[in-house]
Structure 1
C-alpha cells in the first residue's frame, strides 16, 4: 500500500534550499509545484515545503508525506485502526490526499498520485 515516504523539510525559500539537497542526494527534484501560497519540491526522500512561515504552519501538523497506491484502501485501514481524519480528502497538482492522526498522536499526509506522476517518480 505504501509506495514512498517523504520526510518534510521546511524552508523560507525553495531556490536557496534545493542546491544543497541536489548535491547531497545527487539528483534533481522529481516534482516541483505550487499549492496555495507555498512551493513544494520532492527530491530524494525529502519533501521541501517553502514559503512564508504563516503559510507553512498550515501544514506543519503532519510529520511526513506518505505516497500510497490506493487512497480509498488507505482510508479504510486508517478508519479501522481508529485514526482521526484531520483534513478530508482534497486534490492537488499531484493527485488526491488527506491528513490523518493515528491513535497515539502521530499525524501524516497520505497521497495517491495521479498515474502520470507515479510513472514520473517511480517508473513503470
Structure 2
C-alpha cells in the first residue's frame, strides 16, 4: 500500500512575512521554496515550516489548523477520513499550489491536506 503523505509542514502564524523569513532561513539553512498569496495571506515554505502572514482578522480562520500535509491524493485522504470518522471542515478546493482539504480527525487534530500540482510538487525535492 502506498503511503499517502509526502511532506508535513509545521504552521507558523506571523504578522509580517518579510520580517519572519530571515530567522527561518537561518534556522533551516534553506531559502523559501514556495511563496504565494491566498485569501489575504502571504505564505512561504522554508524547510519544514509553512509561514502564514496576515492580520489577526485574516489569520483567525486558520489558527485552529495544526499542520499542512502534502499528499499523493486528496481522494485517498477523503477515503481515510470517511473510514475513521473524521469531519471535512473545508474542501476539496482549488488553491494556488493544487487542491486542498481540511479535516478534523477523531481526537481533535485539524490538518490541511494538499495535493500539489506538478510545479509545486517539484519544490519538495
* Shorter-chain TM-score range: over 0.9
Give the deviation of 1:60 after TM superposition: 1.2
SS in 2 for 1:16: helix
Structure 2 residue corresponding to 1:56, chosen from 41, 45, 59: 59
- Which consecutive unaligned segments of at least 5 residues does structure 2 have? none
> 1:13 aligns to what?
16
Structure 1 stretches of 4+ with a deviation exceeding 6 A read none
Give the deviation of 1:115 after TM superposition: 1.3
CA distance in 1, matches of 2:27, 2:33: 15
Per the normalisation by structure 1, the TM-score is: 0.95
Per the normalisation by structure 2, the TM-score is: 0.95
Counting matched residue pairs gives 122
CA distance in 2, matches of 1:74, 1:91: 16
SS in 2 for 1:22: helix
